[in-house]
Amino acid sequence: MAVPIGRRLNTEWNVGARHALYREDGRWYHHLKRFPGALFDRHGYVVFQTEDAYRQCPQLRHGQELHVDGGISSIRGYVRMVG
């Protein structure tokens, strides 16, 4: 069985997140459940050290799923790894 991309990038890029999710365009995700948690896109990632930081991030829209206004690259602390 293939390793999920978020988990693989978390390891390859030495991010250290307890929960790692990937979406190519960085705009829609399932919810993070363990912290520190990281959201990855095709160019980089953003880490939320705590659930409070995750819940209070103004670009995140917490509904049934997580929507990210402007993609995760618009979030302060985004780390660009490629491109």
Give the count of domains, the chain: 1
Place of tokens 């980089």: 44
Cα–Cα distance for residue pair 34/32, rounded to 1 Å: 6
Residues 6-52: tens digit of each pLDDT:
999 999 999 999 999 999 999 999 999 999 999 999 999 999 999 99
24, 42 in Cβ contact below 8 A? yes
Q: What is the model's pLDDT at position 3? A: 79
Residue 66 sits in which domain range?
5-80
